[in-house]
Amino acid sequence: MQGMNKLNDSSDKMRSGKFLVFFAIFAFIAWKIASPLMSDIIWAVMIAFFATPFNNLLLKKVLHGKCKTLAAVLTLLSVTVVLIMPMVIIIGEIGTDAANVSSLLLDSVKELTSAASSGGGEQLIKSCLPHWATKYVQNVFNIEYLASLAQNAALYIGGLLTEITPRIVTVGSEALLNVLITLMLSFFFIRDGKKIFFELGRYIPMPEDEKKEFCKEIVCDMNSVMYGMVITVVIQAVLCTVGWWYAGLSNALLFGVIMFFVGMLPSGTALIWIPGAIYLAACGNYSNAAILFVWGCAVVGVTDSLMRPLLMSCSGSSDDSSTLLVTIGLFGGVMAFGFLGIFIGPLILMLFRSVCRIYVKYN
């Protein structure tokens, strides 16, 4: 009998080993297929996360709990109209602003080249500076050297813009394809998101009580990252764009989008509006410079200080360690995953903290 038991154990181990090899092969193939779409999948999950409350309301109040597919289609159409279409319009405006900036730089290249060839570079530099700055620069620096330096910089920027123009067309085509794929994936996450979430939860290697608590932590941390950070940054970017426009600075939409991205960093929008205020002051427009500076400090800064902790506390993650993890996750996530790391980095660190807490609690 003991010999038979040993033989059965050995046979079970062999079958288990073969299954692991079989599973690893298919897992590797599945990863190779899905990995090119990983960024699209993450964007789709984020869209579904924000759209699910509206989908649930639509399904419950309008469709009376019937036809999940229709509810998901209507939700996705609403997301497209409310978010995607305005983004397309804004991107078009940004493209126009970027083209204007590019045209201005190319005109500057021509002007600097013409001035340098005719010996008028010094006069051109003086004409571009305020009166008080001209005297200071003339006393400290060599104007002719500055003129040649500006000419070389303008030539380099102009050549760079000419070089990247074909790439912009290629990137735009790829971005359009990625948007379509993301929208298709969003439909399934909106319709079957709860089922997918619980199905994935079955594979978490934890006892049932710990698994339920960890799933709650996932929802809490996603609320913290998405609502506490993204909504705050959107509000900041809108306020900064309004202040930029009111102060009389050009290309407000372009710089508003830039402030949205840098706003992911703590006090990141200040990296844009402070130089804007300095530029206005250098041009002698002291009143608008003061308005932009006060607006940035009193309105945008206070919004960051109040809205972010408030939204994070609403999601249940208002402690100081969450802020520290979000900050580390922002910088580390961007370095590791690029732009998507802004969202992935803080979420992964906060989920790791949740795993550690559950381990300490149950062990």
| Integer Cα distance of 144 and 121 in angstroms | 7
Q: What is the pLDDT along the chain (363 residues), one digit of tens a residue?
A: 445 555 455 555 556 677 778 888 888 998 899 888 888 888 888 888 888 888 888 888 888 878 888 888 888 888 888 776 666 666 666 666 666 666 666 666 566 556 555 555 555 555 555 555 555 555 545 555 555 666 666 666 666 666 665 665 566 667 778 888 888 899 999 888 888 888 887 877 777 777 777 877 787 777 777 777 777 888 888 888 888 888 888 777 777 877 887 777 667 788 888 888 888 887 778 888 888 888 888 888 777 767 766 666 555 555 555 667 777 887 788 788 777 777 788 888 888 888 888 777 776
pLDDT for 315 equals 52
pLDDT for 273 equals 83
In eight-state DSSP terms, residue 207 is: -
pLDDT for 205 equals 77
pLDDT for 162 equals 62
Backbone dihedral region for residue 65 (phi beyond 0: left; psi -120 to 50: alpha; all else: beta): left
SS3 content of the chain, % helix, strand, coil (to 5): 90, 0, 10
Give the tokens for residue 20: 């692991």
> What's CA 62's distance to the chain center, in Å?
33
pLDDT for 164 equals 61
Q: What secondary structure, in 3-state letters, does the chain show?
A: CHHHHHHHHHHHHHHHHHHHHHHHHHHHHHHHHHHHHHHHHHHHHHHHHHHHHHHHHHHHHHCCCCCHHHHHHHHHHHHHHHHHHHHHHHHHHHHHHHHHHHHHHHHHHHHHHHHHHHCCHHHHHHHHCCHHHHHHHHHHCCHHHHHHHHHHHHHHHHHHHHHHHHHHHHHHHHHHHHHHHHHHHHHHHHHHHHHHHHHHHCCCCCCHHHHHHHHHHHHHHHHHHHHHHHHHHHHHHHHHHHHHHHCCCCCHHHHHHHHHHHCCCCCCCHHHHHHHHHHHHHCCCHHHHHHHHHHHHHHHHHHHHHHHHHHHHHCCCCCHHHHHHHHHHHHHHHHHHHHHHHHHHHHHHHHHHHHHHHHHHHC
Question: pTM of the predicted model, to two decimals?
Answer: 0.64
Give the tokens for residue 196: 């997918």
CB 322 within 8 A of CB 314: no
Angle 196-177-48 from CA coordinates, rounded to 5°: 30
pLDDT for 167 equals 63
Give the tokens for residue 13: 């181990």
Residue showing tokens 């779409």: 37
pLDDT for 166 equals 61
| Integer Cα distance of 243 and 265 in angstroms | 20
Termini Cα distance of the chain? 38
CB 236 within 8 A of CB 268: no
Residue showing tokens 């208002």: 318
Give the tokens for residue 301: 């800064």
pLDDT for 320 equals 54
pLDDT for 352 equals 86
pLDDT for 42 equals 85
Hey, what amino acid is at 14? M
Phi, psi of 64 (to 5 degrees): 55, 40
| Integer Cα distance of 189 and 193 in angstroms | 4
pLDDT for 283 equals 79
Q: Kindly calculate the radius of gyration of the chain based on its CA atoms and give it in whole angstroms.
A: 28
pLDDT for 127 equals 56
Residue 288's Cβ-side half-sphere holds a number of Cα atoms within 13 Å equal to 18
- Cβ-proximal residues to 48 (8 Å cutoff; 6+ apart), any chain: 186, 189, 190, 193
